[in-house]
Amino acid sequence: MKVSSTNILSGVVGIVIALGMYLYAGTFPSRAASAALYIRFLAVVLGSFSVILLGKSFYSKNSDKIGWIERPRFFFATAGLLIVYIIIMNVIGFFLSSFLFMFGLAWILGYRRLISLSIGSFSLLALIYVVFVHFLSVPVPTGLF
């Protein structure tokens, strides 16, 4: 498959998903109005980026073929780590398993700056906590911890 055809297909699929998200958010109960507003925001962002990708793909002259898996070792390591993440999430909890997943994935992919990696992982999880757990009251698996 060529890059331009893949971009066109991805843009169309992104627009369809964004439209579905936007319409589905309208079915949320009134007590979840803030969650519906957030989902609509995400749908608009996804739809906007999909339209940009679609528009760009019509003006691109790139006809290279896509190599789906350029680095199989990284692909299978990521897939394996994702399976482990899903399995341990209910055991040790969302936040600890997410921290270990982000840290482990970055390490497997070759990122070795421990301080930056720790601060980045912790900051992202703090943001997730504030937005989803505190603001939107989304329940997350607690596990043992």
Rounded to an integer, the average pLDDT of 57-85 is: 81
Range of the domain at 29: 3-59
Question: Using an 8 Å Cβ cutoff, are 94 and 141 in contact?
Answer: yes
**Residue 44, C-beta contacts closer than 8 angstroms, at least 6 positions apart:** 18, 22
Determine the Cα–Cα distance for residues 73 and 106; give it in Å rounded to an integer: 14
Residue 145 lies in a domain: no
Residue 142 lies in a domain: no
Give the pLDDT band (50/70/90) at residue 13.
very high
The 10 Å CB-count burial string (b at 16+, else e) for 41-71 is: eebeebbeebeebbeebeeeeeeeeeeeeee
pTM, entire model: 0.58
Tokens of 28: 């949320």
* 102 and 131 part of one domain: yes
Question: What pLDDT, in 10s, does the model give residues 30-67?
Answer: 888 888 999 999 999 999 999 999 988 887 776 666 66
* 80 and 112 part of one domain: yes
Question: Using an 8 Å Cβ cutoff, are 89 and 101 in contact?
Answer: no
Question: What pLDDT, in 10s, does the model give residues 83-134?
Answer: 999 999 989 999 999 999 999 999 998 888 989 999 999 999 999 999 988 8
Residue 143 lies in a domain: no
Residue 144 lies in a domain: no
Which long-range contacts link 43-48 to residues 24+ away (Cβ below 8 Å)? 43/18, 43/19, 44/18, 46/14, 46/17, 46/18, 46/21, 47/14, 47/15, 47/18, 47/19, 47/22
Residue 64 lies in a domain: no
Q: What is the pLDDT of residue 62?
A: 65
Residue 65 lies in a domain: no
Q: Which of 14, 37, 59 is the last residue of a domain?
A: 59
Helix axes 3-25, 33-59, angle to 10 degrees: 160
Question: What pLDDT, in 10s, does the model give residues 14-28?
Answer: 999 999 999 999 998
Q: What is the pLDDT of residue 92?
A: 93
Q: Structurally, how many domains does the chain consist of?
A: 2
142 has pLDDT over 90? no
* 76 and 130 part of one domain: yes
